[in-house]
Every structure is written in C-alpha cells, then in structure tokens.
Chain A
Amino acid sequence: MSKSKLSIWITLITGVVVLYFFWNREEKVDFSTEIKPILNKHCISCHGGVKKSGGFSVLFEDEAFAPTESGHPAIIPGDPGSSELIRRLTHSDPELRMPYKRTPLTEEEIELLKKWIKQGAQWGKHWAYEPLTKPELPSEIQTAGFSKDNSAAKKPIDYFVQTKLEEVGMHASPSENPLKLLRRVSMDLTGLPPSKELVSDFSAGKISYEELVDSLLADEAYGEKWASWWLDLARYADTKGYERDVSRTMWPYRDYVIRSFNDDKPFDQFTIEQLAGDLLPDPSQDQLTATAFHRNTMNNDEGGTEDEEFRVAAVLDRVNTTFEVWQSTTMACVQCHSHPYDPIRHEEYYQSLAFFNNSRDEDTHDEEPKLRFYPEEDQAKMNTILDWVAANGGDKSAKLRYDFLRFYEPKYAAHLATDFQNAELIDTKWLGLRSGGSAVYKNIDTQGSDQMLMSYRTGLDGTKVTIRRSNAEGEILASFVMNKTQGDIVREIAFKVLNESIDLYIEANNPKAQPQQNTSTIVWFAFVPTLGGKDKPGFAQVKEQWDDLLEFSGTRLPILIENPPFMARETHVFERGNWMILGEKVESTTPLELGTWNDKWPKNRLGMAYWLTSQDNPLTARTLVNRVWDQLFGRGIVSTIEDMGTQSDPPSHPELLDYLAWKTMNNYKWSVKSLIREIVLSDTYRQSSDITQEAFQKDPKNQWYARGPRFRLSAEQIRDQALAVSGLLSRKMYGKSVKPVQPEGIWMTVYNGESWTESEGEDKYRRSVYTFLKRTSPYPSFISFDAGSREVCLSRRIVTNTPLQALVTLNDPVYVEAAQVLGKKEWESSGEIPDKAIAEIYKTLTLQPISPSKQQAMSDLFVQARKEFEASPEATMEFYPDADAELAAIAVVANAMMNLDEFLTKP
C-alpha cells in the first residue's frame, strides 16, 4: 500500500469513528428540518388537507395526535413501539405497508421517525414560519460587515457562503475582471451599461468599487430597473385584460413605483402605502396612487358577464397576490379547502379575504373609484370650493366634499339595479330604461343629502325621469328631464332629504322613444349636498368652479377606497371555492401560523399591512431578501421564489437568509438599497463567473456560489442595452406609456377597436419599462425573452433559450437600427479604419479588448459583407439607406456583435 493510499484509509476510518460518535450522541431530532420533510415527502399527499385517509393527517399538530378511524392515535409520544405510524411503515403485508403502493421509506428515515417519537414527538414549526432572531456571527465578522474600510476582513455574506463551500468541498473563484464586474453591477443596478465616465473613472482607479456602487444606486436608472421586477409582482399593465382588453390609465402607479425605488422608500412604508394608502390619515396623492397596486387586477368588459363575479375574482386575486408577494405563500389552494401542505385552514383564507372584500370597486366598466389628477388651476378651484364648504357647512362636510372631488366616492353603480320592468342592464353594465320602464335600487343611503348627482348619457331629448320611494306608487323623491348629451355627463338633481336607508324606484317616460329604444344610459349616482351659502356673495363664482370640476376629464387612476360603514360588505366562506354558494360569515383576520395579530391594529387592510411589516412576521423580510438575491444571482436562497411553504425547496443558506432578513428589518430599517448594496459589495457577488468543469459537475446550478452569477439578461435589459450602446436611448422619465416600433397586425382583439399607433420622436426610444403593455398582446420581443403578460402576479421569469430570441436580436428593426447607429458612430470615430472600428464596437459592447481570433472572425465578416454590398448598391440602399458599402458592412458586423452571447449575458 502506497503512502498516499494509507493516509486515505486513515482519514476514512477516523471519519467513520467520528460519525459513529456523533450518531450515538442522541442529538435531539429537529421537527422542522428532519421530520417535517419526511412527512411532506411521503405522507401528506394522502394524510393532510383534502385527503385524510384513515382519519389520519400530519398537517396540523392537533390532527396528527388525534384518534384516527381505528379509534387510537397513530403517534404515541415516547413510544415508537406502540405507534401505528411506525408499525405501518414497516408492515410486511404490502396492503398495509405505507406509503401505499409506493416505495417504502428508507431505514434512516424510519429510524429518525422512531427516534423523534421516542424523544416525545415534539411538533414544531416549518422553518419559514419561525420568527426571525438576531443572527449569531463570529465576533470578527460581525464588525467587518459594518465597516467600510475593513474590506480585507470577511464580510458576513462571504462568511456564510464560504462556510457552506467548505462543507461541500468547493472553493470560491477569484475576483472577476474589474470591467466585467463593472458591467455586471451596472446591468444589475441600473439595467443599463455603465456610462463612459464611470468606465473611465473606474478603470483609472479614480473611484473605488464601493463608490461605483453608490453612484449606480444614486442613478435614477436604478428605479427604472428595479421597477420592472416589482411591476411583475404587481401585475401592472396598460389594459384591463379579459376579452375586450381595452386600455386603462395605470401609468401613475408605475411612476410611483419608480420614484419609490429611487427615493429608497423603506419597504415597510412601500408595503403599507400600496395595500392601504387610502386608510392612512389624510392620505397624500402619492399614498392613494400607491393603492393602484391592487387595482392592477383585471376588469372584465365582456358582454354578458356579471360584474359581481369578476369583482370577486379580483378580490381573490388580491388575496393570492398579497400572500405570494409578501409571504411567498400560495393561498389559491386554500380557496377551496384547507391547504394540503401548509398549515393554513380553509376559513383562514376567507378571514384574509375579508380584508380585501370591503373596497368600493365593483368591476364596473369605468373602473371607479379613480383618483383625479387635477392640474394646478383646478386645484386652486378645489381649494376655493373646500373653503366655502367649510365656512358654510363645517369641516366634516369639507372633508366629504374633498374626498368626493378626489375620487368620487361614495357612489352607487348602475349595475346594482334589480326588479327590471321594460328595462335592462345594457351590455350588463349600465341601466337602460325604455319608455315606461322602471328598476329598483335597494337599500340606498342618501346620507340626508338634498341633491343627487347622476352620471348618464342619452341621445334623446325630453325623457322624464321620476325617482320614488320603494315602488311605482311611492312618494316622489326626485323628478327631472333628460336631454341629449355629448357623451357621459354628471348632472345635479334636487332630491328629497331623507334620514333612513330606502329602496329607490326609478322610472322613465318619453313618448318620442321607440318601443324598444332605451331612453338613456345611466352609469352611477351619488348623494352630494348642494354647496350651501346660496345667498352669500361669491356663491355664483364658487358654484361655477364646482361645475367646472365636475367636467374634469384629465388623468384618472383606479385606486382602492374602503367602503363607508353604510356600504360595508360581509364576507362568507365560499363552499368549495364557489362564490355563489356562501357558507358561514367570517371576520377579517390573518392566518395564525404566519405571525401574531396585535390588537392595536385596525381590523382592515391597514392593520393587515402592519401585520405584514411587523417584526414578528417571519415571512415578509425573508421573502424580500430572497427575491432581491434572486434578481442578482439568478436563483433564490430558497429556489422556489414563489413559495416558501412546506413544499418549497429548503434554503441553500438558511443562516444567510435569516441574517440578511434580520439586518434589512433592524439595521437597514427596510432600506432596499442598503440590502442590495451589501450583496453587491460581497466577494461572493464579485467572483469570476468562469466555470471549471469540476465546479460545473459539482454544482451545475451554482447554488453554492463557487462562482459569480452569469445568466442571460432580461427582456427589458436586452432592449435597453441595445438602445444605450448605440446612443439611441432616451432617458426621459415617467408619463404615459409609449409605443415603440412593432410589426403590423399584432393587435387583433375582439370588440376593441384600438390600434398600435407608433410613438413619435424620442418616445420610440424610451426605456422598456415605459412600453405600453397590452395583456392579451404584449410587446412581441419582450415575450420572446420570457417577460410575462402581467395578467397575474409573476414571481419568477423562467429563463429560456429559443431560436425565436435569436430572430429578435438579429432581425427586429429595433435592433437593426441600433446596430446601424452604433456602427456609424464607431466607424466615424475610428477614422473609417475597419479593424479599429470593430475593436471599438466590441469594447463599447463588452468593455473588453477584443481577442485576436474574434477580431479575425469579425474582420472576415466585414470583408465579406463589404464585398456583397459593393456588388449590389441596391442591397446597400435597402439595408442602410445613405450608407456606402463599408458603412453598411460595419453595421452588419455591429449587428453580429450585438448578438454575441457575452453581450446578451450578464458577465
């Protein structure tokens, strides 16, 4: 035996001995990491949630120890020998042996279960539901993380990663080439390649890496880049979705997200504003704008669809999205039954739903309530009106008037009508009364108003509308004549003052109307009192300003507004998830397992937002950290980004996840920029992304981070980068979504009538985050590169690699134009020397010097292209008008280089 072989034997034997001792030390079995995974893997699909075969379930603690159908519990703590669970796992009769007709558990697994039962079968929580605790770090590392200049010492992230690397027998890679790293961090933080100045300052050593990172984080492009990530979660789009999929105004919300990232708005505040901005005291325009987060739900305009069904669909989506975005928890299953895997009960779903089931929006065609963005002169009018109302009716009236002017609530939508006589909901949306027709609105609270506002349109003159108490014989409450309108108008109607809720009977009469003709189309009505102070000087002027404001037709953004008490909705369990079969009534509260409720919080969306962002909620910070990590490394610490429940993959680095989550909450006070900063300053992030065969075999997915992150850029990054390197990119921020070049005939939606009208000037070259997104027909090249259609929340874009992507970057006019402009720029600046131009283009694209062989390949291509174009001036003309053969050829080369893997990939 050679010396080296001998030493291997010695090591092996020592190892076995050590292991044996470890094994026999009778360490306490950990339920969460050792037992729960076994139960979930082998048992829970038949013994949990929906199925409780044999009356046995391992989902909840009380179920696991409860008597089964046999009359006895299957687990007897302390006594594995008498536990049916163990007996069944080892039974010799295949009909009785569990898991039924599947591979038996391994001996190790059974031993572990026995040991756990013997030790008392202590139940525990899944790791993700354990509260976060202050992380323990060796003292020398603890300090290093906070000191800027002590970069030689190990940083906490690197400590956790390297500890793991040692465990799996791998080694970290050396630092990445500085300019590759510059491109990596720039694409990651701003979504754009670094500016020329940054490149020269950084390569000249004028600024440190830390300073570079800080300057990228301070760049407004940062907000645009990270907004794309958030907008996927928020399912932000510029159309309503479903069949007709017409445009809606949502862009102010997108701008809110960009501004919030750039301002580094603390994530707890960002959360509270989006979920419950309307419930904050005196909400600002921005805080109301934020609530559009949950108005990104789709709105169905299809004829024949019932608004209530799709209102409910939107509310369900809000529940599911909230839990997916903030808790990495899949609630959709619980809609129909208790969760098969996660400890969330059926009723708890509806208790959570109750938070979201009390907002004013009702899937109406106009998508009210909407926040009005008044221009300055209108705001001045509003102030005059409010002052007047305060002086003549008190502050409370002024507040109500203020709310009404901002978002037109409370109001009743026409679709609430019942008891139609010779009347119908037109296209199941608006009330249409034929002459002599009537309908009833039940349980209407006029709040003692002396005036009704009604929104309607009609093409007929002289319709007499009468509103009565209860029925055709009831007392007349209002009566007025409708004449032809130009589109929808808001009309003031004197109304009898009432101090109770009543049923309104509404009828219309017009002798000139045809028998089957609707006299009008009623959209909504509201009760807003007259201004008061009619006999005071100045009234006429104020009234005029009020009338002006009612005609406002500027930007209006769908937002969340809570129901006033007289409109509050009850929430019931839906039997088997069916909204039409209501079960018991429930009150709003949050799932028990996911964190405790503080009674100081209001029982509404605001309270729920406090619950999500409280220190005790175990999932919000972990979720945030996991998603940010995924954005930077292409993989989460928990790889199932959308789910951290009991079925998720276990975290690759649990302590790292908890460390960053704790720190983000406590030290960084929810600053997302600080979290990102810490990650990109780590050595782990700054490693070379080159792969050795050995490393690839050991860790193909790079889950242990023995190398830097390297993956294909996102749809937005690819387009923005192409525009940026060519100099075409417009840095104009905010505002209405734009429509860059898109092939003809992409939009063919039914009953829609809208078309893609190409934007003009610099709007064609704006960053991708501003591109108009139509849900049923998103921008085609984005779809090719795995962007979603934003119909529902998307936690993770799965990166694919298809020939259709190559067709985009090779042939899409957007990319061809970018190549032409880039080629021309470098052609001219290089003094029209082909090799120099090629080297410069390559450097612009990758920040690297071109290798001789690549230079040769591109140079050959240039010669061949030039030859072709010289032979055919027509082809030259077609490919690049006004260019000569050489310029056209250099554009071809630029097009080729913009298709290189290294250009399309984060280095």
Chain B
Amino acid sequence: MKNLEKLLSELQVQKLQTQTRRHFLMDCVSKVGGLALAPLLFGCEIGKNGQAKDGLNLSERDLNPLAPLPPPFAGKAKSIIYLHMAGAPSQLELFDFKPELAKLHDQDCPESLLEGRKFAFIRGVPKMLGPQAKFNQHGQSGAWVSDYLPHFSKVVDEVAFLKAMHTDQFNHGPAQLFMQTGSPRLGRPSLGSWVTYGLGTINQNLPGFVVLTSGGKTPDAGKSVWGSGFLPSVYQGVQCRSKGDPVLYLEDPSGMSRDLKKKVISAINQANQEDFESIGDPEILARINQFEMAYRMQIEVPEVMNINDEPDYIHQLYGTQPGEESFANNCLLARKLVEKGVRVVQLYDWGWDTHGTDKDGSIDMGLRNKCRKIDRPMSALLLDLKQRGLLEDTLVVWGGEFGRTPMQENREGKVQGFKGRDHHVDAFTMWVAGGGVKKGASYGITDDFGFSGIDERTSVHDLHATLLHLMGFDHEKFTYDFQGRPFRLTDVEGELIRKIIA
C-alpha cells in the first residue's frame, strides 16, 4: 500500500482532482460497465480521438480495444453484413443472362476462349453449357434474375449489381482469402478485422465481428478468412454457433447459477481493484473491464442468438426454423446482431461448388436446391432491415469467391455425369445493397458468353476500396504498420466504383 499512499499524496499536491485519477478512471470503467456508451466515456474526459486529456493518459482503447471510434470521414454505413457463398455460385444461372450462350450449348468451346488460359479442372476442349435457368427482367430497374431466385427478384430495386467482377485465383482457398483479406496468401487481416479495428464496435456486450456458418462446413480457406492477420487478435471474427455454446465457453459451468457467477466476478474484480491500487498497472483496469464485459456477454449473446421468440411473421418472412443450423436462421441472426450494434456480421454458406460431379453439385438440380435455401432469407434480410430503418446504414454484400465457366466442366478429360461448370476468374456477379449504395444500379458488362468482362470491370481490390469508402475510410490512407511498412486492405490497388455509390 506504500505506493498508493505515495500516489495519493502526489495527487493531492497536484490538486488535479478531488478524486484520485485511479478512482476517477474506475468510475469510467464502471460506467463503461454499466452502459458502454461513448458519451459517458467522453464525460470521463477521455477524448474523442481516444486520448485522455490528462491523468494516466490512458486512451479509451487502452481499456477496451473494441471501444467505438468515429470513421475518418462520415461513412454512410455503420455496419456490414457480408453473405459469402463459399464454393462460388454460377452467375450464368442467376444474374448474368446470356441468350447467345444457349445457342452454343453442347458445341465445342471456341479455341479463342481457351488459348493461354488455365482452369482448375477443365482439360482439352470442353463443350459449352447453355444457361440452365429461365431469366426475366424485374422491378423498376429491369434487372435480369433467373427463376432460381423468385423472392430475390422482388427486391432487385434495393441492390446494385457488379456484373463484371474478376479475380486472379481459381482455387477456392486462395480465392476466398483474396476476397476476404485482399491477398491470396495467409497472414493478412480480413475485411471484417480491418473494419472492426478502424471503428471498434458499438455494443460492448457482443463481439464486434461475428461469423456465422451454414452448409455443414467452414469455408475452404478455414478460419483465416475471418482472421486478424497482423492486426491484434482481438479484431478477428468470433464464430457464433447455432449448436452448443453460441460463443465458445459462453455457458457457465453446469450447476453454477447466474447469480453465483455474478458473485464470482465481483469477488475477482474486488481483488483486482485492490491490486491496481497497490501495483498501479493500468492493464489491471482493462482486466476488470474485460470480466464485466464477459459477464454481460454471457447474458446478451444467448439473448440475441435466440430466435425462438421472434414473431411468426418474421419466421415466415425468413423461412426460419429455430434450432437448425441454416442460412435462413443466420440471416435473421445477422439482422438481430446488427440491430444490437454489432459492427460486422459475416455469413458463410458452404456448398456452391457446382462441378457436375454429382447431383448436389449440378447446375440444374443442386444449384437450384441451394438457391431455394438462400432465396427467401436473403430477400427477407433486405426487407426486414428496410422496414426497421436499418438498411440505410447497413451495408449488405453478396457473392462467392469467383464465378463459373460458360463451359461444361470435363474433369480429367471425362464427360461429367451431371451438368456442371468449372471455376472461373474472368467474370462473375456480386451484389451490394443498403448503406450508401445506389439502388437498382447495375455496373459491369460481360461478353456474349459471360466469359469476360468487356466494360466496367471490377477487381476484388475495387470492391474493397468501395466497401471501405462506404464505411467511412479512404482505402489508401487506412493502414497498419507491420514489418516496417504500412499495409492496407487494398495493397497498392483499388479504384472506387463511384457509379454504385448513391
């Protein structure tokens, strides 16, 4: 206690405060604990830029690395929901209508399309494969959407299509990494980590970056697609699960009541506070904060992850069935999480790799079935966000890691038993909606076979630059120093796609 006395006497001499700085900070912490709202923190004189004005010179982020920060400029979007169809859906059956391709069906692929190109599985000269879906124009925007997505065709006026996306990776793992981290190799932070690092999160009782998976598998590239790379690990995505604990170790040990847990935490924090007073290490304050947050997370996460109590009309809208691990449930959860102030929600739905090697992987049957599982919920998500006034500041992104070839895949030189398409990097479709996106827009044009973009081509870096822009960042200035140089999500590339910004 000697140090404390010394400290106290120093503080008295300085007459900075009638309260000691430590107790003062303790107040802040308990207020963060109580409400976790920025204005209260500012009330504690911890500046907006995260720097305390005096005293221990602790920033809000020293106590809580996820404390919310304002973006560098006012972004339209406050949160982001990213729907990643892992395996890569076929643009040619969903959005990119190519009547000319139908005419070439079952004919040998023109040499000009194959020259100097590599495919993951296609060898030699494959056959062309005409569109397997029926297309119609929808909404005021007249967007082409196939009959695989009847619900979605009713909300097309909310979204902006990117129809000439391209990537440079034709294997799932590297392509997913590229799409999510801006690099096909490991070690870079994911988009969600960058955003969470830059903005923190609004609700301290929930993780700032939540990942939900469906389709029975995690994405091919593993957890690195929501990893934090060289950013501190606190910014990585937290996988919330629909079976078992929604967040790992969230549940109290069996037999321990909530009330008892509260007492446990209070005893821990009491002892920790005593240590802070004698040792003076501000890390202990952060630890106290951490335990309070953990306790509240234990209450709030199960609440938000529980969809049982949603009204019937919501279940009908999304097509949700409580207790399942499904894309529908995850869409509803995404809305709930964003509504509660989660910064980034990412949904990975596995099972879109339609090579035609079996029925589930066929373009005419498997893909149609996959679409049935996402069509209603993803449309419902847009409608639900809109009716709650959340779509304005929630950015919704949909897409795979690459597209599919206009050719029938012919793995190992054999004809496949089902209709299928190989991986394709030159052209695919994604869509974005909400948070500052121009409604009903379509950007990018592909050639007559949907093989290559011929105008308004969009790279993965362009997409990232635009998403960051909508969240309030200049992608060229949003950097993190590592290994002696500043890194960015977009590396040294990326152009804003101004035509889809409202």
Interface size on A, residues (CB 8 A): 107
Chain A: which residue is nearest B172 at the CB level? A243
A 55-81 contacts with B by CB, 8 A = none
CB <8 Å contact, B217 and A853? no
How far apart sit A900 and B288, CA to CA, in the bound complex (Å)? 10
Chain A: which residue is nearest B413 at the CB level? A424
Chain B: which residue is nearest A331 at the CB level? B483
CB <8 Å contact, B241 and A745? yes
CB <8 Å contact, A333 and B485? yes
Residues of chain B within 8 A (CB-CB) of A895 are 253, 264
A638 to chain B, nearest CB (A): 11
A592 to chain B, nearest CB (A): 19
A150 to chain B, nearest CB (A): 31
Residues of chain A within 8 A (CB-CB) of B207 are 804
Task: Name the contact of B290 in the complex, choosing from A516, A776, A780, A802 (C-beta under 8 A).
Answer: A802
How far apart sit A700 and B59, CA to CA, in the bound complex (Å)? 12
Residues of chain A within 8 A (CB-CB) of B40 are none
Q: Is B297 engaged at the interface, CB distance under 8 Å to the other chain? A: yes
Q: Contacts A341-B484, A643-B483; is A776 near B233 (CB within 8 Å)?
A: no
Q: Is B6 engaged at the interface, CB distance under 8 Å to the other chain? A: yes
How far apart sit A425 and B271, CA to CA, in the bound complex (Å)? 64
CB <8 Å contact, A693 and B21? yes
Residues of chain B within 8 A (CB-CB) of A874 are 255
Task: Name the contact of B217 in the complex, choosing from A425, A689, A750, A876 (C-beta under 8 A).
Answer: A750
Residues of chain A within 8 A (CB-CB) of B257 are 868, 875
Q: Is A90 engaged at the interface, CB distance under 8 Å to the other chain? A: no
Q: Contacts A516-B414, A802-B65; is A901 near B253 (CB within 8 Å)?
A: no
How far apart sit A888 and B186, CA to CA, in the bound complex (Å)? 46
How far apart sit A268 and B172, CA to CA, in the bound complex (Å)? 41
Q: Is B112 engaged at the interface, CB distance under 8 Å to the other chain? A: no
Q: Contacts A691-B280, A901-B275, A902-B275; is A800 near B253 (CB within 8 Å)?
A: no
CB <8 Å contact, B173 and A242? yes
CB <8 Å contact, A743 and B245? yes
Give 1 or 0 for each of A714-749: 1 = CB within 8 Å of chain B CB: 000000000000000000000000000001110011
Task: Name the contact of B482 in the complex, choosing from A642, A689, A692, A857 (C-beta under 8 A).
Answer: A642
Q: Is A694 engaged at the interface, CB distance under 8 Å to the other chain? A: yes
How far apart sit A748 and B252, CA to CA, in the bound complex (Å)? 25
A591 to chain B, nearest CB (A): 15
Q: Is B267 engaged at the interface, CB distance under 8 Å to the other chain? A: yes
CB <8 Å contact, B222 and A691? no
CB <8 Å contact, A792 and B186? yes
Task: Name the contact of A880 in the complex, choosing from B173, B187, B255 (C-beta under 8 A).
Answer: B255
CB <8 Å contact, B244 and A692? no
Q: Is A303 engaged at the interface, CB distance under 8 Å to the other chain? A: yes
Chain A: which residue is nearest B229 at the CB level? A792
A 789-818 contacts with B by CB, 8 A = 789, 791-792, 798, 800-808, 810-813, 816
Task: Name the contact of B65 in the complex, choosing from A748, A801, A868, A875 (C-beta under 8 A).
Answer: A801
CB <8 Å contact, B255 and A744? no
CB <8 Å contact, B484 and A776? no
Residues of chain A within 8 A (CB-CB) of B233 are 783, 786, 798, 800
How far apart sit A813 and B282, CA to CA, in the bound complex (Å)? 29
B283 to chain A, nearest CB (A): 7
How far apart sit A801 and B66, CA to CA, in the bound complex (Å)? 10
A 225-252 contacts with B by CB, 8 A = 241-243, 245
How far apart sit A528 and B19, CA to CA, in the bound complex (Å)? 84
B324 to chain A, nearest CB (A): 14
CB <8 Å contact, B290 and A243? no
Residues of chain B within 8 A (CB-CB) of A777 are 218, 222-223
CB <8 Å contact, A803 and B413? no
Give 1 or 0 for each of B219-261: 1 = CB within 8 Å of chain A CB: 1111110010001111010100101110111111111110111
Residues of chain B within 8 A (CB-CB) of A424 are 123, 412-414
Give 1 or 0 for each of A655-689: 1 = CB within 8 Å of chain B CB: 00000000000000000000000000000000001
How far apart sit A694 and B10, CA to CA, in the bound complex (Å)? 9
Q: Contacts A245-B222, A854-B274, A896-B268; is A302 near B172 (CB within 8 Å)?
A: yes
A34 to chain B, nearest CB (A): 19
How far apart sit A903 and B100, CA to CA, in the bound complex (Å)? 70
Residues of chain A within 8 A (CB-CB) of B283 are 710-712, 801, 901, 905
CB <8 Å contact, A861 and B249? no
Q: Is B294 engaged at the interface, CB distance under 8 Å to the other chain? A: yes
Residues of chain B within 8 A (CB-CB) of A858 are 267, 271
B 447-502 contacts with A by CB, 8 A = 482-485
Q: Is A645 engaged at the interface, CB distance under 8 Å to the other chain? A: yes
Residues of chain A within 8 A (CB-CB) of B284 are 901
Task: Name the contact of A745 in the complex, choosing from B232, B243, B249 (C-beta under 8 A).
Answer: B243
Task: Name the contact of B255 in the complex, choosing from A333, A691, A775, A878 (C-beta under 8 A).
Answer: A878
How far apart sit A642 and B252, CA to CA, in the bound complex (Å)? 39
Residues of chain A within 8 A (CB-CB) of B66 are 802
Residues of chain A within 8 A (CB-CB) of B485 are 330, 333, 340-341, 647
How far apart sit A804 and B293, CA to CA, in the bound complex (Å)? 9
Residues of chain B within 8 A (CB-CB) of A804 are 207, 238, 247-249, 294
CB <8 Å contact, A689 and B293? no
B 331-359 contacts with A by CB, 8 A = 350
Chain B: which residue is nearest A878 at the CB level? B255
How far apart sit A853 and B274, CA to CA, in the bound complex (Å)? 8
Interface residues on B, range: 35 or more
Residues of chain B within 8 A (CB-CB) of A298 are 186
Chain B: which residue is nearest A867 at the CB level? B260
Give 1 or 0 for each of A419-444: 1 = CB within 8 Å of chain B CB: 01011111000001000000000000
Chain A: which residue is nearest B58 at the CB level? A700
How far apart sit A792 and B483, CA to CA, in the bound complex (Å)? 14
CB <8 Å contact, A750 and B218? yes
Q: Contacts A302-B220, A802-B65; is A243 near B171 (CB within 8 Å)?
A: yes
How far apart sit A858 and B186, CA to CA, in the bound complex (Å)? 46
How far apart sit A712 and B272, CA to CA, in the bound complex (Å)? 14
Give 1 or 0 for each of B405-438: 1 = CB within 8 Å of chain A CB: 0000000111100000001000000000000000
B70 to chain A, nearest CB (A): 22
Q: Contacts A693-B280, A750-B217, A878-B254; is A899 near B483 (CB within 8 Å)?
A: no
Q: Is A106 engaged at the interface, CB distance under 8 Å to the other chain? A: no
Q: Is A24 engaged at the interface, CB distance under 8 Å to the other chain? A: no
CB <8 Å contact, B244 and A648? no
Residues of chain B within 8 A (CB-CB) of A617 are none
B254 to chain A, nearest CB (A): 4
CB <8 Å contact, A806 and B412? no
Q: Is A851 engaged at the interface, CB distance under 8 Å to the other chain? A: yes
Residues of chain A within 8 A (CB-CB) of B252 are 810-811
Residues of chain A within 8 A (CB-CB) of B413 are 420, 422-424
CB <8 Å contact, B260 and A864? yes
Residues of chain A within 8 A (CB-CB) of B6 are 692
Q: Is A579 engaged at the interface, CB distance under 8 Å to the other chain? A: no
CB <8 Å contact, B255 and A640? no
Residues of chain B within 8 A (CB-CB) of A749 are 217-218, 222
Q: Is A697 engaged at the interface, CB distance under 8 Å to the other chain? A: yes
CB <8 Å contact, B484 and A330? yes
B204 to chain A, nearest CB (A): 8
Q: Is A781 engaged at the interface, CB distance under 8 Å to the other chain? A: yes
CB <8 Å contact, B281 and A691? yes
Extra contacts besides A425-B412, A744-B244, A865-B263 (9): CB < 8 Å: A298-B186, A304-B170, A305-B120, A516-B414, A643-B484, A743-B249, A784-B248, A802-B65, A900-B268
Kindly list the 7 A-B residue pairs having the minimum CB-CB distance in the complex, ordered from nearest.
Answer: A776-B222, A879-B255, A304-B120, A878-B255, A647-B484, A806-B294, A424-B412
10 A–B contacts, CB within 8 A, in A order: A689-B281, A749-B222, A776-B222, A781-B249, A802-B66, A854-B274, A875-B257, A897-B271, A899-B264, A900-B268
B residues sitting closer than 8 Å to A (CB atoms) are 3, 6-7, 10-11, 21, 56-57, 65-66, 118, 120-121, 123, 170-173, 185-187, 207, 213, 216-224, 227, 231-234, 236, 238, 241, 243-245, 247-257, 259-261, 263-265, 267-268, 270-272, 274-275, 278-284, 286-288, 290-291, 293-294, 297-298, 350, 412-415, 423, 482-485
